[in-house]
Amino acid sequence: MNTPLVSLTNAGKSYQQLDALKSVTLDLSQGEVMGLFGHNGAGKTTMMKLILGVISPSRGSVEVMGMAPDSKEAWHCRSKVGYLPENVSFYEQLTGLEVLTYFAKLKGFNKKQAVDLLEQVGITHAMKRQVKTYSKGMRQRLGLAQAFIGEPKLLLLDEPTVGLDPIATRDFYQTVDQLKSNGSSVILCSHVLPGVEQHIDRAMILSTGQLLAMGTLKELRQQAALPVAIKPLGLNGSVAADTKLNSFLTSHCPDTLMVPEDEKLAVLKQLLSHDALDDIHVEAANLEQVYQHFLSLHENKQQSSKQQGAQG
Amino acid sequence: MKQILTVANKEFHDGLRNRWLVSITLIFALLSIGLTYFGAAASGAVGVTSLSTTVASLASLAVFLIPLIALLLSYDSFVGEQESGTLLLLLTYPLSKSQLLLGKFLGQGSIIALATFIGFGSSAVLLYFQLGDSQIFTSFSVFILSAILLGLSFTAISYLISLSVSEKSKAAGFALITWFLFALAFDLALLALLVGVEEGISQSFLTQLMMLNPADIFRLVNLAGLDSSDVNGALAVAINASLSQGQLFSALLAWVALPLTVAIFIFRRKKL
């Protein structure tokens, strides 16, 4: 694999009293899509700002396309980076086309590209209207069109699917897949988790400025060692009678077996031996559960360290 | 340079769209034509009075209006974009902070300059048709040029305000205070100083003090050339210690360049 497009080495950012981002090491290669997850104030936006070069790291180093993004040399790289901020309300009194033309010109493109991009995100019909008449979803599409200007090599998207309807969300993920296949890298920042899983290569979980976990979804699942939920239908109590199976039943979901990943197949085979079985649902832990797991692990750790501190 | 022009073009069109250009031009034109025509109403006559009276009245009007308009036009330039999130976005573009600031200055400055030129220029043309004196154009070009510089100076000052605060409403408050200080309080303080401190203040010291206020420099530029009978108060004293027009214009220019430089400096250090 060639040199990473984005590389953070022990990068951190502190404001007066607050460690917004403690220490993050990360390499993002070309064509990789990474999901960045965390609560509000977890340091997601700070990390994006560091990569964008809007702020400089307090420690460690940040490199984008081989240069520090806050340096003068990195100037021309900026037209190769697209960014969608979390809360942006564009110039309300301008039309969608005027807004996008302004941003396109600043990146060295012209009105024609702006029109094409508006078509791509599906708001051609509204491009002559003032932004203040736009719905939340249309504003978000305009923001995305802005981020897509000039087919960026690196895209940083902060909450890209907020306010989008299911169809627009699907279109958006299609665009991400397309950009990825063209060799662009994408960092998706979100706390809305469903739907994002099949589009990201790696996930990174942040909390209060700290890196909790990073890896592919499979790796994270393994690390978390979360059980698979298996729900057999039509067995009516014979599961509880089966000594091989009843140990997996939990009190709060009496019809569902919570099975560790490595025992999944054995349990399935056992279930199939029951003739009364009508149907079977197998659900691996999803990203949301993995995320919850790492967060609660972190919280427990913090609490116990606090208690230790109180005792000591 | 291309980036600066792109920003300037957008700001200028914003000014057109918000009807700022039209309103400022109309205000200037109506007031100046009104003053030109009815300036002599106090002495019981309607019609064009002498050139120096007209310029004196226009200058005392402009010295209040122009700073107010410039501050109103630009106080939210940066804090407004910061609140809506576009400032952060713009700074991720291949656009430096000074390019953004100078672009905005060029765009909004052009609105002020154009409005001043058309608004006051119209009364110059009117006066010329009435009096037929080509002296009018010399006096008016000095007046319009200094008025434009005064406007630009307060545009730069409002950028200072806009970059130093974090809320739009605070910027509006500070803009109002700034206007009050420069347009009203400063002169009152000078007058108090002049009356209160006997034999303490020399003319040249007073003139130097007046250099601390662009509005006063503007007054000096426009009233120095007139009969001192039209002028009274602290100004009359200062005029006697007259500085050359060149010096006064350079002082006004400094009042444009200095706040602008400081604004760029603040912008560079600003946390986002």
pLDDT digits (tens, 9 = 90+) for B125-134: 888 887 777 7
Asked if B252 contacts B151 with a C-beta cutoff of 8 angstroms, the reply is no
Are B272 and A54 a contacting pair at CB < 8 A?
Answer: yes
Q: Which of A15, A54, A86 sits opposite B92 (nearest CB)?
A: A54
Q: Which residue of A has its CA nearest to B97?
A: A54
Please compute the mean of the pLDDT values over residues B68-89 and round it to a whole number. 92
Interstrand relation of A202-207 and A33-37 (parallel, antiparallel or unpaired): parallel
Q: Which residue of B has its CA nearest to A84?
A: B89
What's this model's pTM, rounded to 2 decimal places?
0.86
DSSP, res A216: -
Are B92 and A146 a contacting pair at CB < 8 A?
Answer: no
Please compute the mean of the pLDDT values over residues B86-101 and round it to a whole number. 91
What's the pLDDT tens digit per position in B12-34? 999 898 888 999 999 988 888 88
Q: Where are the beta strands (DSSP E) in B129-204?
A: none
Give the pLDDT of residue A282: 84
Are B91 and A54 a contacting pair at CB < 8 A?
Answer: yes
- Taking one residue from A and the other from B, the number of pairs with CB-CB distance under 8 angstroms is 61
Give the pLDDT of residue A98: 93
Q: Hey, which residues does A206 pair with through a beta bridge?
A: A211
What's the pLDDT tens digit per position in A243-293? 777 777 776 777 788 888 778 888 888 888 887 788 888 888 888 888 888
Q: Is A107 in CB contact (< 8 Å) with chain B?
A: yes
Q: Is B269 in CB contact (< 8 Å) with chain A?
A: no
Domain ranges of chain A: 6-221, 227-283
Residues A178, A123: Cα–Cα separation, whole Å: 19
Q: Which residue of B has its CA nearest to A77?
A: B94
Q: Which of A76, A83, A94 sits opposite B89 (nearest CB)?
A: A83
Per-residue pLDDT at A73 exceeds 60: yes
- CA angle centred on B127, ends B121 and B128, rounded to 5°: 90
Q: Which of A52, A89, A90 sits opposite B92 (nearest CB)?
A: A52
User: Under DSSP, is residue A26 helix (H, G, I), strand (E, B) or coil?
Assistant: strand
Q: Is B85 in CB contact (< 8 Å) with chain A?
A: yes
Give the pLDDT of residue B44: 59
**If pLDDT is split at 50, 70 and 90, which confidence band does B86 have?**
very high
Q: Which residue of A has its CA nearest to B2?
A: A106
Residues B13, B3: Cα–Cα separation, whole Å: 16
DSSP B83-98: HHTHHHHHHTSS--HH
Nearest to A86 by CA among A120, A60, A47: A47
Give the pLDDT of residue B109: 95
CATH number of A6-221: 3.40.50.300
Q: Which of B17, B93, B271 sits opposite A106 (nearest CB)?
A: B93
Q: Is B203 in CB contact (< 8 Å) with chain A?
A: no
Per-residue pLDDT at B258 exceeds 70: yes
Q: Which of B86, B88, B91 sits opposite A91 (nearest CB)?
A: B86
Are A106 and B94 a contacting pair at CB < 8 A?
Answer: yes
Q: Which residue of A has its CA nearest to B270?
A: A55
What residues make up the domain containing B218? 2-269
Please compute the mean of the pLDDT values over residues B145-160 and round it to a whole number. 95
Q: Which residue reads 């081989």 in tokens? A: A66
Q: Which residue of B has its CA nearest to A85?
A: B89
What's the pLDDT tens digit per position in B184-202? 899 888 888 888 876 667 7
Are B92 and A81 a contacting pair at CB < 8 A?
Answer: yes
Per-residue pLDDT at B63 exceeds 80: yes
Q: Is A90 in CB contact (< 8 Å) with chain B?
A: yes
Nearest to A65 by CA among A189, A146, A185, A187: A185
Q: Is B5 in CB contact (< 8 Å) with chain A?
A: no
**If pLDDT is split at 50, 70 and 90, which confidence band does A296 have?**
confident
Which range scores top for mean pLDDT: A30-39, A108-117, A146-155, B105-114?
A: B105-114
Q: Is B6 in CB contact (< 8 Å) with chain A?
A: yes
Please compute the mean of the pLDDT values over residues B155-171 and round it to a whole number. 94
Mean pLDDT, chain A, rounded, equals 84
**If pLDDT is split at 50, 70 and 90, which confidence band does B235 have?**
low
Per-residue pLDDT at B233 exceeds 60: no
Give the pLDDT of residue B240: 57
Per-residue pLDDT at A312 exceeds 60: no
Which range scores top for mean pLDDT: A194-208, B13-27, B100-114, B208-222?
A: B100-114
Give the pLDDT of residue A189: 87
Partner B, chain A 32-71, Cβ-Cβ below 8 Å: 49, 52-55
Residues of B whose CB is below 8 A from A106 = 3, 6-7, 90, 93-95
**If pLDDT is split at 50, 70 and 90, which confidence band does B78 have?**
very high
DSSP, res A249: B
Residues A221, A210: Cα–Cα separation, whole Å: 19
Provide the CA A14 distance to its chain's centre, in angstroms.
23
What's the pLDDT tens digit per position in B105-118? 999 999 999 999 99
Per-residue pLDDT at A227 exceeds 90: no
Please compute the mean of the pLDDT values over residues A19-27 and round it to a whole number. 85
Per-residue pLDDT at B208 exceeds 90: no
Residues B13, B110: Cα–Cα separation, whole Å: 11
Which residues are CB-contacts of A273 (< 8 A; sequence separation ≥ 6)? none
Q: Which residue of A has its CA nearest to B77?
A: A91
Please state the domain count of chain B: 1
Q: Which of A125-129, A216-220, B39-43, B86-90 has the lowest mean pLDDT?
A: B39-43
Residues of B whose CB is below 8 A from A79 = 93-94
Residues A203, A239: Cα–Cα separation, whole Å: 36
Give the pLDDT of residue B205: 80
C-alpha distance from A93 to closest chain B C-alpha (Å): 8
Per-residue pLDDT at A233 exceeds 90: no
Are B92 and A83 a contacting pair at CB < 8 A?
Answer: yes
Give the pLDDT of residue A310: 65
Residues of A whose CB is below 8 A from B89 = 83, 85, 88, 103, 146
Are B271 and A55 a contacting pair at CB < 8 A?
Answer: yes
Mean pLDDT, chain B, rounded, equals 86
**If pLDDT is split at 50, 70 and 90, which confidence band does B48 have?**
low
Give the pLDDT of residue A192: 66
Q: Hey, which residues does A202 pair with through a beta bridge?
A: A34
Q: Is A264 in CB contact (< 8 Å) with chain B?
A: no
Please compute the mean of the pLDDT values over residues A224-234 and round it to a whole number. 82
Please compute the mean of the pLDDT values over residues A76-103 and round it to a whole number. 89
ipTM of this predicted complex? 0.85
